[in-house]
Amino acid sequence: MTEPAARPYASLRDAAALIVGTADPVEKARLTALAREAWMGRTLSLTRPTLDRAMPNRPGRPPRPELLPPRAMPRRSLGGAKGRIAFLHAIAHIELNAMDLAWDIVGRFAGEGMPRSFFDQWTRVASEEALHFGLLCDRLAEHGAAYGDLPAHDGLWQAAEATGGDLAARLAVVPLVLEARGLDVTPSMIATFEEMGDEESAAVLKRIYEDEKGHVYVGAAWFRYLCDRAGQRAEPAFHRLVRTHFRGALKPPFNDRARSAACLTPGFYRPLEVVRT
């Protein structure tokens, strides 16, 4: 296959490495759209081993925001204009990391013998995360702020580092633990923004919430696929992988309805539940 001269990558795996390593979030989102279009247009191969660059160990990031350890992050609340900006900024940072995590799945596990539909779906996830980031940046701008104005959490890439050698573990921890947690907490955030009269921000969170159900569904479906391929039962495999690779705890309350709609049934997460005392 002859690649167009203007294309800055040799394959989908090469595009994933380029995008994850790109520091400018706007350029990262632009490259995401181009790579997704080329892949779905069937003009891009999955890999070109002699040309593909290595996946970065960490994603490229702009000089700002300042990245802090989780314990050093200032506490935030949704009260007042500053609290609203801090919250939108934090969610924008999560969505930026989610875009990179989706591309890291594509690039790091391109040699796992997965069906083409696996890459169709994860490039869609990456595109939706890029859209979410852009929508949140627009809301920040309308509040007189921008991504990078506040410090951000530097612990979000730990999940990628802990699961870089195991696709099943990556699916268990990222979509089925971290993204599933978003299904639990986002409805109350939407309600809070609506109570404050910020219907525009609430609408962005509603879009993110609906898309994230699909992302958890994609993770659950492919996790089950890998378990079937390996002759393993999905729920015990999930419990083992989460206990091995996830440092945190699974704490209620859980949005059982949204999780079940995303094909993540209680038998996955309830046995790992840690009850607050």
pLDDT band at 277 (very low <50, low <70, confident <90, very high): very low
Residues 214/258, Cβ–Cβ less than 8 Å:
no
Sort 5 into a burial class: Cβ within 10 Å, 0-12 / 13-18 / 19+: exposed
Is residue 73 predicted with pLDDT exceeding 90?
A: no
Please name the residues in contact with 30: beta carbons below 8 A apart, sequence gap of 6 or more.
Answer: none
pLDDT of residue 79: 67
The rounded Cα 80 to chain-centroid distance in angstroms is 28
pTM score: 0.94
**Phi-psi category of residue 148: left, alpha or beta, with phi > 0 → left and psi -120 to 50 → alpha:** left
Amino acid identity at 175:
P
- DSSP letter assigned to residue 124: H
Computed over every residue of the chain, the mean pLDDT equals 93
In the chain, % of residues over pLDDT 90: 85
Q: CA angle 206-212-216, nearest 5°?
A: 155
Q: For residue 63, count other CB atoms closer than 10 A to its CB.
A: 7
User: Alpha carbon of 245 to those of 52, 132, 169, 274: distances in Å?
Assistant: 28, 27, 7, 16
Rg (CA), the chain: 19
- What does the pLDDT look like over 189-229, one tens digit per residue? 999 999 999 999 999 999 999 999 999 999 999 999 999 99
Q: Domain limits of the chain?
A: 12-47+77-272
- What does the pLDDT look like over 136-183, one tens digit per residue? 999 999 999 999 999 998 777 888 999 999 999 999 999 999 999 999
- What does the pLDDT look like over 81-103, one tens digit per residue? 788 999 999 999 999 999 999 99
The span from the CA of 234 to the CA of 168, in Å, is 10
Q: 3-class DSSP state for residue 57? A: coil
Q: For residue 224, count other CB atoms closer than 10 A to its CB.
A: 18
69-103 as b/e, with b when 16 or more CB fall inside 10 Å? eeeebeeeeeeeeeebbbbbbbbbbbbbbbbbbbb
